[in-house]
Amino acid sequence: MRMRFKRDHVGYIELEKLPIKDRKEINVLHSATFLLRGKRYYFKEVKVINQSYNEMIGYELAKDFGLEAIPYDLASYNGRIGFLSRDYMQEGYVSLEDLLKQYYGTEEGKNNLDNVSIMLRDTFPSEVAEKIINDLLELLMFDIIIGNYDRHEKNIVIDTKNGKLGPVSDNEMMLDSDAMYGQWYAFKMHPDDKYTLDSFLGYLDSAGLVTFAKKVLIIESSNIQSVMSRVEEKIGHPMNEYIKAEIAKKYSEYFGFLLRKIDKEVEARYTLTKSR
């Protein structure tokens, strides 16, 4: 999606120049929804400039991974930079937070596959529950590959009408060093996980491990360059060169790390099988 609005000299849509309704809400909040040309949009301010690019890059990576995702664009409001999307929460999705509260009475400590699976299997028909659980495993795989720790229960949405995970959103915190090396994830395999990457790799069967290895290619250097070129085409401006170089460097290092982790997991399984 390329939003057909005028942009500033670096590609940001200047919201203050548009005929927005509910403008007062944007003035006082770091994130807000508003009406524009009969459609409701969502704007979120970011702390640092690279986070606004992250949302657009995350969208492109999700498409390459094979996930349905919410399109984003760069936007600013009176000098406050951030990102913009349609307000997809108006389309009937239910947040994982709401489902957990309804089932457990609280969402605290429940944002993990173990607790979520119990809730889903007790709430939905068996086939639907297993489909959503598999969708969540794919989402966790995606977050591990892009280094996104911030998949909390508020930004995971369920399409209860069609029995599947809703579109992926909120990737601004990707490239976090703790997440990229498996040390911490908001959504994880088990409540007591200390190292989510190892827990996830240990869960995968041989076919799943092959799938993971293939999916890791979305952060291979040539594809990262392709993703950033697509972002530049959408905004009609070059990305900041320092940010581009930083993203390319981080993903290059992380790509090598993940390949080594996969090799180590395969070797461990082979050694275990041989010793039996």
Q: Which tens digits make up the pLDDT trace of 141-176? A: 999 999 999 999 999 999 988 889 999 999 999 998
More confident site: 2 or 189:
189
Q: In what order do the strands lie in the sheet with 73-77?
A: 13-14, 73-77, 80-86, 39-45, 31-36
Nearest in space to 179 (alpha carbons), one of 202, 153, 147: 147
Are the beta carbons of 244 and 228 closer than 8 angstroms? yes
- Interhelix angle 221-235/241-275, rounded to 10 degrees, is 150
pLDDT of residue 276: 61
Mean pLDDT of 195-199: 93
Mean pLDDT of 92-103: 93
pLDDT of residue 183: 85
Q: Residue 236: how many CB atoms within 10 A of its CB?
A: 9
CA–CA separation, 13 and 225 (whole Å): 23
Nearest in space to 55 (alpha carbons), one of 171, 227, 219: 171
Is the pLDDT at 2 greater than 60? The verdict is: no
Q: Which tens digits make up the pLDDT trace of 48-78? A: 999 999 999 999 999 999 999 999 999 999 9
Question: Using 50, 70 and 90 to split pLDDT, how confident is the model at 25?
Answer: confident
Q: Which amino acid is at 138?
A: E
Question: Using 50, 70 and 90 to split pLDDT, how confident is the model at 275?
Answer: low
Backbone angles phi, psi at 121, to 5 degrees: -70, -25
Nearest in space to 54 (alpha carbons), one of 37, 31, 73: 73
CA–CA separation, 170 and 152 (whole Å): 10
pLDDT of residue 53: 95
Q: Domain 13-90 belongs to what topology?
A: Phosphorylase Kinase; domain 1 (3.30.200)
Structure tokens at 64: 């390459």
Q: Which tens digits make up the pLDDT trace of 110-147? A: 999 999 999 999 999 999 999 999 999 999 999 999 99
CA–CA separation, 185 and 175 (whole Å): 12
**% of residues, the chain, pLDDT over 70:** 96
**CB neighbour list of residue 5: distance below 8 Å, 6 or more residues apart:** 13, 18
More confident site: 103 or 183:
103
Q: Which tens digits make up the pLDDT trace of 216-253? A: 999 999 999 999 999 999 999 999 999 999 999 999 99
